[in-house]
Structure 1
Amino acid sequence: MDTTAAPRRQVGIFSILSESVYVGMCNKIGTPQQVAARRDIVDILELFGNQHAVRGLMSSGSRKEGFRFSDSDMDTMFWQHNHRVIWDFSQSEYYNIHRQVMILCDSSESPAGFTLLWLPLERAEQGVLMLSIVEMNGGLYISSSKYRENACASVYLDSRVHGPCSTSTERLEGYYTLDHDIAHCFVSDFWPPSASSWIDRCHSWPPPHVVNDIVRNGCHFVAIGHKLGNHEDNEWRISFSLAEHKLVYSMNHTQFLTYGLMKLFLKEIINNGLGEEDKLLCSYHMKTAVFWAIQQNTLPHWCPQNLLVGFWVCFKLLLKWVYEGISPNFFIPENNMFLSKIHGQAQTSLFRRLYGLYEKGITLLLHSPSIRSSIIDVLCNPRLTVCTDEHTLISEAEFDVKLFLEICTHDALIINRSDLQHCKKYIQTIEQLIETQQTSDLQRCMKYLHTIEQLIGSPLSQYHVISLQKHAATILQSTAFILHNMCTNTGVNKQVYIVDKMYCHMLELAAKFGLVPDMLYIAMYFYKTLRYREALSVIEMTKVKLAQPYLMYRRVDRERYTEAVGGQSWSTKMRQAVAWEIKLINEISYISELLPEQQSSRQNKEPRLHIPPFVLLHMLEFLCSRHIDTMRTQTALDDLQVLLHSDQGLFVPYYYRDISWEILGICQQMAGNLQAALCSYQQSLGQVSFNEIQTATTQRIHDLHIPT
């Protein structure tokens, strides 16, 4: 088979085609700055979560790599800190064997890339580990199938088995869902001896500091055996997930887009129209092909003008593997990843399919909806000039929209470095209160605040800082309401004044760090403590900010936004020009009027209510005005009703209309208009059930005592 020929195109046209596809891929996958921001936001959350975790955790999957396809998955690996896998007994000297469980690899009877995990010392421990032990060859081994079953069953109820993982479907924001794979695994601080040849291969890529970092961090073991091995139910696969992410991070952007192009090629062309059982190739094969192509230095210059050349190199390598029936693992080449699935008739059929695509040349990408237009533009205008400069590909406003979407979606948190000192005295006051009122929620909030303090002193990127700033706001808001709900009125005016002042300062500080609608947490606190005029004053200030024409709320007027805050820091932009949904954590009481909805949502396993800020603003204005200004009460109710009836998704996203109609009904019921309240509650039941409040809505309808 001759796969040495390049697609038949003139060099000039091919270069322009590559540049056009590069621009199209930047629009589809992200510019270098966008990808860097995504990675930093995910990485800081992982770092934050590991500071006080009782077990190790590591994010993986395509979302961590920087992709945001609709089907990009989210993977998380968990392992016990006190369990360590070693490759020989001599490595046990680095551990306290009385405190840590030593697990020894036994690869003597396993295919390359797999191993048995042997417990050389019998332990009297209980739990998942001991429930997963089997006897083999006179020794105690950890069964991968039993461990996977026991670990997943002990934590996750609504999940399904997917390879070595327990998979569940999670919602991020709005209607957006993704599959979340949870893998319970073991960790080794040592690089596998079977992968030592990989170190020797790294002459040109990755650079030495990346190689050293990868080797120094060892590997993991996930609970799945080789289908053709002698001990499939008991074997463990050596996982290089951490190493792979470091490799992806070390790619330049053209290489990363080549990887993305291979993923699209797989999804939209190779696997298009095939059933799940017929999809023999997966994204991991594409990633491996890109790794090999880069390391073998087949293409000296990975740049926008060579993007399609790089793609063709990877495609030819994949075609060669299918022809030979051998796909060598990047770290352990002896591990043929085609061995159990791509052979015989299946291999022959796949090769014919791929070779048919190969014969089309680069025009095969016309079959990809994501790439087609980039190629057609050049074919229709061969003299087209394409600019690949990042700053021309996305405007400041467009970048900011996607950045804040990313931050809010991941609910990230941290304090601006310059404001840290200002916050410390409140942290100390919280510590004193926690000493007298011990609760797990408060202790967790305290740990988070300390983690923020520690992270501020470490080297942080600009994306780390802005995402952690939002995280700090969330923690301060939660802590203030938790403490207030626990606090009992001692009757001592001075003490009541001091703690109240502290809660107000925490919420003001959170508003200073957070988004524009975070001021509404202050209004909720004032309403909760019967200070209606003060609450209305905050509501008025918030209303003015939310009415600004440059406000960014899921979309933005680019010109007005740039004119108002263009060139300023993201911290300033977030405080002055960015809005997002208010998220009420269902474990915390904010205002009594929404407790039934929080309880219903919590019973349906939703952690929080998502309320559009404009809806909550009108609700709070209505609630506060009832006590001091009857005319304003009706105006607030009218404004809320007009908003719900006339909005086309601009201020009330349709997937949050369940809680929005519910809130209108609550206000109408409190105003005495029971028939209107009934109509609003029925409207709420007819919406997409995002907040899972149907139980509360049904009960409210029942309590109206109106025949339906």
Structure 2
Amino acid sequence: MAVQRISESVYVGICLKIGTQQQVTYRRDIQDIAEMLKNNEILNKQNTVMLSGSRREGFRLSGSDMDHMHCLNNHRVIWDFSQCQFYNTQEHALILCDSSESPPGFTLLWLPLERTSHGVMSACVRMNGMLYISSSKYREVTCSLVFPGSSPHGPCGSGSFGSVEYDTAHCFISDFWPPSASSWIGRCHSWPPPHVVNDIIRNGCHFVAIGHKLGNHTDNEWRISFSQAEYKLVCLMNHTQFLIYGLLKLFLKEIINEGLRDEDKLLCSYHMKTAVFWAIQQNALPHWYPQNLMVGFWVCFKLLLKWVYEGVCPNFFIPENNMFLSNIYGEAQQTLFTRLYRLYENGLALLLHSPSISSYITNVLCNPRLTICTDEHTLISEVEVDEDIFGEIYENDAISKMDLHTCEIYLHRVEQLLGLPLTQYHIVMLQKLTATILQCTAFMLHSMYTNTGSNKQLFIVDKVACRFVKLSAKFGFVSDMLYIAMYYYKSFRYRDALSVIDITKVKLAQPYLMYESYVDRERYTEAVGGQSLSTKMRQTVAQDIQLYNDIFYINEIIPEQQSSKQNNEPSLYIPPLVLLYMLEFLCSRHVDTMRAQRALDDLQALVHHDQGQLVPVELRDISWEILGICQQITGNLHAALYSYQQSLRQYPLHKIQTATRQRIQDLHL
């Protein structure tokens, strides 16, 4: 009974730490729709990009990486020549697997026709007179392809944006299931069910650029990746199984690897996932539910302990691939086993060393009659859920290429997606992406025809662009109204812009407004509690304004966009009130100078005195910059100098320092 009550208490704690079933579901759904829009075969003939790893699975643990797989669409890996018949070799470069001299789970990639792209060709080596794609050379070629300045990390290019670390792996696709993994199909009697097995097999596998450390061709071998299959299996888990997987990840991070140097961390999250997969498939626990959570954890931990003792961790898809072979053996294996066995001897008390979990165990031990409710709807309030949902939407609200043809294709794709069975999370994500596409289209149209079109053309284009930007505000956040004000300012409609600014100012001042994590929960619930996500987004949610550096929105911040773009940053992010006061100042200069001064005073008070609530700390560089620009326009050069200097002292999120220094130079003080 004590174990059951501890299980229930830890279940609650893990839900709060990792997410309820609802939270995990909408994180996946929002990512799904973003990927379905962006990975359009018309747009991305060359490349498909997929989020993978723990974030794709639905985790949002601090310190977790953003893992992306980049796959060449015009290359396909086959297992034997009979599979050539399924391809037009004019469209696809075919690569043949040669696993004859590689350990299980690894292979050489042979180019039998020696025809491929320049990038792939530059990574090729000759062996026995034949051309093979070298994994080590391919890593060198692709490491900094997506993010310049990335450094090698396993098969990936690695780096960070602010506090977020990323890994990008460049892969090849096979539409066929590996023969070496055929035994997995025969093992799937009870889990996963046949329809999932068939779906996984139909989708084949990937190859990532890393060889086996003990293989004959370490620098040239490729690892077979089952990343997409694993994602489907994780999605198939019930929530208790998913939380056990999450608990094992925390156990690894906070207990097993705590205090160890990176080179001494022999176990990784992938081993934990593998243990859960095997435990589920082998029916190690007849029932996986909250009251059994600790038993499930213990089953997986014992399996892990057995593997370390034997020095064998069988890959879930290719058991012959012993994932401990290259690093967990000899003295290192003995040391790790001793460390784990000491934890095992402590029983479930070992989790008392976990900062994330310990309090939920001691609560039960100290309060034997404590009532525990595992109903997720009582664990996290509607407001907290909404904060998380809109944060996820904002994080995934981006389009890749900036031209009218691309935007047209995106809109056509939106139309196609609307015909699918969609969840409420799919719909609200699709709404926001549609708003973004319309905004980009409007500003690109205006820029294209302002200097080149006839008056009649300009009139028609302006009418269309105006309609798009107004329509976008009906789909997006409250703060998206500022795109209308920017468009009016750009097209010299100052009074119209000020009318929109007045309306937006009222909406942004509402006591129920949700901006990032700042919201009056009681007022928010009174205003929109129980209403649809779409309604909430349009009426009560504000987010930072994203200005793509490939599109010029207003002339006054073009130098900042250019500086940011030169430093490989795709966008500027501006707090909504900072942009509102800037636009109010710029427009009022032409129609009401007293109002312009009031707007500048409001902007100055906001930037000088805000404590991170309306001007997030990470956006202070651009906020001080905008204040300086407005002060310089009025002729207050000393105040502008101070603001620019303050901008240079902030965290350089946007990398606008080149523009800032140039502005300081132009002051001639």
Q: For the superposition of Structure 1 and Structure 2, which TM-score range results when normalised by the shorter chain?
A: over 0.9
1:134 to 98, 116, 125: 125
**1:143 has 2:134 as partner:** yes
User: 1:57 Cα deviation (Å)?
Assistant: 3.0
8 Å Cα contact 2:449-2:458 kept in structure 1:
no
8 Å Cα contact 1:87-1:104 kept in structure 2:
yes
User: 1:289 Cα deviation (Å)?
Assistant: 0.5
Provide the residue aligned with 1:112 in structure 2.
Answer: 104
Change (3 A) 1:593 1:383: same
Structure 2 counterpart of 1:209, one-letter code: H
Provide the residue aligned with 1:450 in structure 2.
Answer: 412
User: 1:119 Cα deviation (Å)?
Assistant: 2.5
2:113 to 111, 121, 137: 121
Take 1:484 and 1:405, find their aligned partners in 2: how far apart are those partners?
30
Structure 1 counterpart of 2:9, one-letter code: S
User: 1:705 Cα deviation (Å)?
Assistant: 2.0
1:128-180 CA deviation, whole Å, 9 max, x = no partner?
Answer: 23223333334332222222222335555311111111122235xxxxx3222
Provide the residue aligned with 1:416 in structure 2.
Answer: none
Provide the residue aligned with 1:421 in structure 2.
Answer: none
Take 1:307 and 1:637, find their aligned partners in 2: how far apart are those partners?
57
**1:670 has 2:633 as partner:** yes
1:514-562 CA deviation, whole Å, 9 max, x = no partner?
Answer: 1111111111111112211111100000000000000000121111101
Alignment of 1:443-522 (within 5 A): 443-488=405-450, 494-522=456-484
Look up the SS of the partner of 1:564 in the other structure: helix
Take 2:592 and 2:112, find their aligned partners in 1: how far apart are those partners?
76
1:404 to 390, 402, 406: 390
Provide the residue aligned with 1:620 in structure 2.
Answer: 583
Take 2:145 and 2:65, find their aligned partners in 1: how far apart are those partners?
23
Provide the residue aligned with 1:275 in structure 2.
Answer: 261
Provide the residue aligned with 1:603 in structure 2.
Answer: 566
8 Å Cα contact 1:520-1:617 kept in structure 2:
yes
Alignment of 1:40-79 (within 5 A): 40-51=29-40, 52-54=43-45, 55-79=47-71
8 Å Cα contact 2:135-2:220 kept in structure 1:
yes
Take 2:209 and 2:294, find their aligned partners in 1: how far apart are those partners?
38
Change (3 A) 1:120 1:529: closer
2:300 to 293, 314, 317: 314
8 Å Cα contact 1:412-1:468 kept in structure 2:
no
Q: TM-score, normalised by structure 2?
A: 0.96
Provide the residue aligned with 2:241 in structure 1.
Answer: 255
Change (3 A) 1:543 1:231: same
Change (3 A) 1:162 1:625: same
Segment of structure 1 superposing worse, 454-463 or 492-501: 492-501
Provide the residue aligned with 1:346 in structure 2.
Answer: 332
2:378 to 357, 377, 392: 392
Provide the residue aligned with 2:228 in structure 1.
Answer: 242
Provide the residue aligned with 1:433 in structure 2.
Answer: none
User: 1:440 Cα deviation (Å)?
Assistant: 6.9
Alignment of 1:166-245 (within 5 A): 166-171=157-162, 177-245=163-231
Take 1:655 and 1:580, find their aligned partners in 2: how far apart are those partners?
14
Take 2:17 and 2:510, find their aligned partners in 1: how far apart are those partners?
31
1:186-231 CA deviation, whole Å, 9 max, x = no partner?
Answer: 2111111111111111112111111111111111111111111111
Look up the SS of the partner of 1:103 in the other structure: strand
Look up the SS of the partner of 1:280 in the other structure: coil
Look up the SS of the partner of 1:327 in the other structure: coil
Take 1:183 and 1:491, find their aligned partners in 2: how far apart are those partners?
44
Provide the residue aligned with 2:155 in structure 1.
Answer: 164
Look up the SS of the partner of 1:576 in the other structure: helix
**1:333 has 2:319 as partner:** yes
Provide the residue aligned with 2:615 in structure 1.
Answer: 652
Provide the residue aligned with 2:84 in structure 1.
Answer: 92
Structure 1 counterpart of 2:332, one-letter code: A
Take 1:267 and 1:482, find their aligned partners in 2: how far apart are those partners?
47
Provide the residue aligned with 2:95 in structure 1.
Answer: 103
Take 1:492 and 1:142, find their aligned partners in 2: how far apart are those partners?
53
Provide the residue aligned with 1:83 in structure 2.
Answer: 75
**1:18 has 2:7 as partner:** yes
1:533 to 469, 477, 495: 495
Take 2:538 and 2:44, find their aligned partners in 1: how far apart are those partners?
31
8 Å Cα contact 1:489-1:496 kept in structure 2:
no
Look up the SS of the partner of 2:94 in the other structure: strand
Take 2:597 and 2:454, find their aligned partners in 1: how far apart are those partners?
38
**1:575 has 2:538 as partner:** yes
8 Å Cα contact 1:164-1:223 kept in structure 2:
yes
User: 1:689 Cα deviation (Å)?
Assistant: 1.6
User: 1:492 Cα deviation (Å)?
Assistant: 5.8
Change (3 A) 1:154 1:392: closer
Change (3 A) 1:705 1:150: closer
Take 1:440 and 1:645, find their aligned partners in 2: how far apart are those partners?
35
Provide the residue aligned with 2:652 in structure 1.
Answer: 689
Take 1:209 and 1:17, find their aligned partners in 2: how far apart are those partners?
36
Take 1:688 and 1:126, find their aligned partners in 2: how far apart are those partners?
40
Two-structure CA RMSD over aligned residues (Å): 1.7
1:566 to 529, 546, 555: 529
> Any gaps of 5 or more consecutive residues in structure 2?
none
Structure 2 counterpart of 1:540, one-letter code: D
Take 2:240 and 2:165, find their aligned partners in 1: how far apart are those partners?
28
Take 2:127 and 2:649, find their aligned partners in 1: how far apart are those partners?
58
Segment of structure 1 superposing worse, 223-232 or 496-505: 496-505
User: 1:472 Cα deviation (Å)?
Assistant: 0.9
1:641 to 583, 601, 604: 604
User: 1:18 Cα deviation (Å)?
Assistant: 0.6
Structure 2 counterpart of 1:543, one-letter code: K
Change (3 A) 1:236 1:541: same
Change (3 A) 1:557 1:343: same
Take 2:124 and 2:140, find their aligned partners in 1: how far apart are those partners?
12
8 Å Cα contact 1:110-1:231 kept in structure 2:
yes
User: 1:63 Cα deviation (Å)?
Assistant: 0.5
Look up the SS of the partner of 1:310 in the other structure: helix
Take 1:674 and 1:145, find their aligned partners in 2: how far apart are those partners?
54
User: 1:653 Cα deviation (Å)?
Assistant: 0.9
8 Å Cα contact 2:103-2:212 kept in structure 1:
yes
> Any gaps of 5 or more consecutive residues in structure 1?
1-11, 172-176, 414-438
Structure 2 counterpart of 1:599, one-letter code: Q
Take 1:401 and 1:126, find their aligned partners in 2: how far apart are those partners?
45
Structure 1 counterpart of 2:336, one-letter code: L
8 Å Cα contact 2:567-2:655 kept in structure 1:
yes
Change (3 A) 1:156 1:605: closer
Structure 1 counterpart of 2:61, one-letter code: F
Structure 2 counterpart of 1:93, one-letter code: Q
1:79-129 CA deviation, whole Å, 9 max, x = no partner?
Answer: 222322222222222222344222222212111111122233343x45123
Provide the residue aligned with 2:367 in structure 1.
Answer: 381
8 Å Cα contact 1:412-1:470 kept in structure 2:
no
Take 2:57 and 2:453, find their aligned partners in 1: how far apart are those partners?
55
Segment of structure 1 superposing worse, 483-492 or 331-340: 483-492
